[in-house]
């Protein structure tokens, strides 16, 4: 592991911990500059190709999903850990499907369900774009469904 401070190649693991999704967090120290830093390891499992609405296919991109969810959660009391957990759950569900390809609609449905549990305002923000709520009445109807 290369040190992020001095780019030295010699580091030593001080502590290792495991998370609920099977990832490993390692606390390290650089033997060259004595700086400490953390690394996070997770298994890279095959995720299916995403079939877009126009029929194009692309690799699943965790960062792209994080950006979309992050935009919906801006200035909301949703922690980065909660967003990361939701993204991890979606990625695990996709890997667990065992399919080579999955529709972007399936991923969107997973996001909308997760945001509905996480934060209602973030859910509405995402739903406006995802569900194509293009007028105030449609947005009001969706909010009324949430309130019921």
- Total domains in the chain come to 2
Same domain, 23 and 58: no
In a domain, residue 29? The reply is yes
Residues 36 and 66 occupy one common structural domain: no
Residue of 36, 37, 40, 29 lying closest to 62 (CA atoms): 40
Is 102 found in the same domain as 31? no
Confidence at residue 40, expressed as pLDDT on a 0 to 100 scale: 86
Q: Residue 89: CB partners within 8 Å, gap ≥ 6?
A: 110, 114
120 in the same domain as 83: yes
Confidence at residue 18, expressed as pLDDT on a 0 to 100 scale: 86
Are residues 23 and 53 both part of a single domain? no
Quick: pLDDT tens for 91-142.
989 988 888 899 999 999 999 999 999 999 999 999 999 888 888 998 999 8
pLDDT at 45 over 80: no
**Do residues 35 and 90 both lie within one domain?**
no
Rg (CA), the chain: 19
Domain co-membership, 122 together with 62: yes
Range of the domain at 34: 11-41
Same domain, 56 and 111: yes
**Same domain for 34 and 87:** no
pLDDT above 70 for 44: no
The rounded distance, in Å, linking the Cα atoms of 57 and 89 is 22
d(CA 73, CA 118): 10
């Amino acid at each position: 592991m290369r040190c992020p401070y001095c780019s030295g190649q010699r580091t030593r693991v001080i502590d290792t911990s495991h998370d609920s999704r099977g990832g490993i967090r390692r606390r390290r120290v650089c033997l060259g500059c004595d700086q400490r830093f953390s690394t996070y390891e997770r298994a890279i499992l095959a995720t299916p190709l995403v079939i877009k609405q126009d029929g194009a296919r692309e690799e699943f991109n965790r960062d792209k999903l994080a950006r979309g969810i992050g935009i919906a959660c801006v200035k909301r009391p949703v922690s980065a850990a909660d967003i990361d957990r939701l993204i991890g759950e979606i990625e695990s569900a996709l890997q667990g499907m065992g399919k080579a390809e999955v529709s972007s609609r399936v991923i969107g449905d997973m996001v909308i369900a997760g945001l509905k549990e996480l934060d209602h305002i973030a859910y509405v923000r995402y739903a406006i774009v995802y569900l194509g709520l293009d007028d105030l009445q449609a947005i009001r109807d969706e909010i009324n469904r949430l309130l019921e």
